[in-house]
Structure 1
Amino acid sequence: MRRHHFLHFGYGALFGWLAWCAVQSAHNGAPWVCSAFVAGSGLVLVALIREGELERALRREAVRAERESRRHPADAGAAVAAVALAGWCCDAWAATAGAEHGPACRHRRPKDNAA
């Protein structure tokens, strides 16, 4: 059994116990105690519904993340191209296969005037 099944079972058992206590309190003439047990039962019911909604939301998010991880091949190619472009320091470097750098490139070295 999954963890959320145990949680739902626990909420159900608590709801049943609180409802039984509310009925017993009403039979024994304690309306204020009965109303407290009814309020507690209502809170447990709200918690049970909320846990169900959170479980469904997490499942939807997991399915969405799995779909996003299986990208279309065109998207994968664009990602590879973006990584390659990020590695370029300037357009001149890319055009000359790394032999020269553009005038504004931070990797450009001053030319020697020793000739």
Structure 2
Amino acid sequence: MSGFSDIYCAVPSPDRLCDRLFVALANPVRRRLLEILTRQPLSAGELSDRFDLSRPAVAEHLKVLREAGLVADEPRGRRRIYRLTAEPLTALGDWLHPFEKICRNQEGTQCERS
């Protein structure tokens, strides 16, 4: 049976990238923005039309997502078009993988899935 120290050593320490990702993903509006952007790249105005929020409020959420690396933007005329980026999600998956592995390998217990 594995002890706490074995489990602790197998879990990587979070870095600043993961911290920014968790902060960005903690907000339901930002998660919804990401869901919308899975369909197609959109401008801040087009995204704000899908919420009961002002454009400046949506722009602030997009700023947090951009700083976390979850979205990228590019100018198109007078607008900026936002699209998803995969790299941070891959890094987050890599960070989370050991937790899943530890959970699956624990003897006599099962991890609950919500």
TM-score (norm 2): 0.31
Higher share of residues assigned strand: 2
Q: Which structure has the greater CA radius of gyration?
A: 1
Higher share of residues assigned helix: 1
Higher relative contact order (CA 8 A, sep 6+): 2
TM-score (norm 1): 0.31
